[in-house]
Amino acid sequence: MRFAIIGAGMSGILAAIKLREAGYDDFALYEKAARLGGTWRENTYPGIACDVPSHLYSYSFEPNPEWSHHFSPGEEIYRYFEGVARKHGVESRIRFGAEVVRCEWRGGRWQLETAHGLRDAVDVVIAATGVLHHPNVPDFPGAASFAGVLFHSARWDHSARLDGARVGVIGTGSTATQITSAVVPRAARYSLFQRTAQWIMPQANPAYTDEERAEFRRNPAGIAAMRAGMSQIFSDGFSSAVIDASSPQMTMIEETCRQNLESSVRDPLLREKLRPSYRAACKRLVISPDFYQAIQQPNAELVTSPIERIEPKGVRTADGRLHELDVLVLATGFRADRFMRPTQVIGEGALSLETAWVERPIAYLSISIPGFPNLFMLNGPNGPVGNFSLIEVAELQMGYVLKLVELLRDRRARAIAPSASATAAFDEARTVAAKNSIWSTGCKSWYLDQRGIPASWPWTFDRFRGEMAQPRLEAYVTAG
Ligand code: NAP
């Protein structure tokens, strides 16, 4: 069997390693960029780090005793993936600069075409194309007239001078918060344009000591045990809390955020501007040890008057003020409903993915789509994207995909796709359960689909682990 993996980020690298380990060596990994690394290649903004603990945000089979911090910086995470890919011989299998623009199911195989006209025919496609990778660039009037430097946070212009500059950042999500902590100490003036306030969960980030790292090196089993412990704490704590808005764990999280705001922000006016009008974790919870400290510095300003337009000299807000700027960063998030798109995907009976997903992206157990046989997604729609380490999610999903692939290998099926009825039943149950989650309690966020219903996995992580343990074959349509 021949495979194509699309995307050489965290999930694509994982897929390549696991395919080989399972004895499938005939595959190509297509990557649109010139380097691997996915989100960690594209996001290089100052202050970038992962707010999932380093030892949990690592592959289970590649523990890393060298993590510098409990929550490691982006550059270090990028180097980790690069190192793992090299060690497992994945890099040499990647076709760089090869954007897959079309995948068509024809004659019982997937026919692939890249932007440069490269063609391939494979039995199985694994789409490891990421979740948050299409920048959301709002159409601010006058943006083209800005005389300074303007860019999206995921397209950071490293030639822009920040030291001693007047820097503006639009947005208050996890990205803007990390940028704020890193850039306030460098900028002459810093303006944070807030449309909606965010709850901030405080989280210290100590460095690992040399002694701790030496101990990790001596005892990799210790890392594995620590990772399992972290996973369980996450599972029992945060991920169980967010799916049940009335849970006592949720109340604790809210109280911690409220106390963080009360005890960290001295000026009562600023405190009220920073106080959200919705419940903590309704939007993706922002985790930061020092955002409140940064925004209270004398050179920093929280701007809450709505943005009216962008002018050559800066940002004009509705109160008539012009905020003069040299650099303007759009930390305005991503279009979270894209997944494999804009790749044109044509399944059975000429069904296009655009048509199948005309209302919203739907996938059975977040992995596969009716009418698109032998096409499997890692971190596809409706997975536990908002409440768990995406690495652990992808590892579990890849294990599940390999079990489906065994059916093809053993010739028990030639093509395998979920049935429309199983997918509809899954989607219906998911929609009902999502109404109990904290994400449904009255805020706007990228977790919500076009109907305003959370698109994330609304059950426990243990349930997800259980589902991933063994495919229920009755949910699939197989061609013999
Ligand atoms: P985001 O959470 O979607 O936040 C986008 C921000 O831009 C929001 O504050 C939004 O305001 C604002 N915005 C969007 N359009 C606007 C407009 N037209 N005018 C004014 N403001 C506008 O994006 P993000 O901060 O890049 O984070 C995305 C996700 O990436 C996170 O939720 C997280 O899952 C992930 N992430 C993770 C880490 C980590 O440490 N693991 C770090 C960074 C990002 P509203 O709230 O009013 O819509």
pLDDT at residue 253 is higher than 80: yes
Three-state secondary structure call for residue 17: helix
Predicted local confidence at residue 235, as pLDDT: 87
- Alpha carbon of 94 to those of 32, 36, 86, 327, 394: distances in Å? 10, 8, 11, 36, 19
| Mean pLDDT, residues 94-102 | 98
pLDDT band with cut points at 50, 70 and 90 for residue 234: confident
Q: Determine the angle formed by the axes of helices 390-409 and 461-469, rounding to 10 degrees.
A: 20
How many angstroms separate the CA atoms of 441 and 438, rounded? 5
> The whole model's pTM is what?
0.97
pLDDT band with cut points at 50, 70 and 90 for residue 245 = very high
pLDDT at residue 479, rounded to an integer: 84
Work out the pLDDT band at 71, boundaries 50, 70, 90: very high
Tell me the mean pLDDT in the region 399-424. Answer: 97
What is the per-residue pLDDT for 388? 81
pLDDT, tens digit, for every residue of 144-191? 999 999 999 999 999 999 999 999 999 999 999 999 999 999 999 999
Centroid of chain to Cα 312? 34
Measured from the CB, is residue 284 less than 6 Å from ligand 1? yes
Q: Which region among 329-333, 371-375, 446-450 has the lowest average model confidence (pLDDT)?
A: 446-450
Whether 387 has a pLDDT exceeding 80, the answer reads no
Beta strands per DSSP E along 51-164 = 94-95, 100-106, 109-114, 119-122, 124-127, 149-152
Q: From the CB of 181, is ligand 1 less than 6 Å away?
A: no
Among 139, 328, 332, 443, name the best residue to mutate to test ligand 1's pocket (greatest count of ligand atoms within 8 A of Cβ).
332
Q: Tokens 């009418």 label which residue?
A: 371
Q: What is the pLDDT of residue 225?
A: 95
Task: Give the neighbor-by-neighbor strand order of the sheet with 327-330.
Answer: 149-152, 327-330, 166-170, 189-193, 300-303
In this prediction, residue 236 has a pLDDT band, given cuts at 50, 70 and 90, of confident
Ligand 1 atom 37, closest CA: 174
Q: How far is the CA of 170 from the centre of ligand 1 (A)?
A: 9
The answer, yes or no, to whether any atom of ligand 1 lies below 6 A from the CB of 260, is no
Query: Each residue of 23-67: pLDDT tens digit?
Result: 999 999 999 999 999 999 999 999 999 999 999 999 999 999 999
d(CA 50, ligand 1 centre) in Å: 15
Best residue among 174, 291, 443 to mutate for probing ligand 1's pocket (most ligand atoms within 8 Å of CB) is: 174
- Residue 372 above 90 pLDDT? yes
Interval 263-271 mean pLDDT: 98
Tell me if 196 CB under 6 Å of ligand 1.
Answer: yes
Per-chain mean pLDDT for the chain: 96
Cα Rg of the chain, angstroms: 23
* Residue 281, phi-psi category: left (phi > 0), alpha (psi -120 to 50), beta (remainder): left
Select from 403, 220, 391, 197 the least CA-distant residue to 282.
197
Whether 332 is in the pocket of ligand 1, judged by its Cβ within 6 Å, is yes
113-133: average pLDDT = 97
Q: What is the pLDDT of residue 386?
A: 72
129 pLDDT band, cuts 50/70/90, is very high
> How remote is the CA of residue 412 from the centroid of ligand 1, in Å?
45
How far is ligand 1, taken at its centre, from the CA of residue 446, in Å?
8
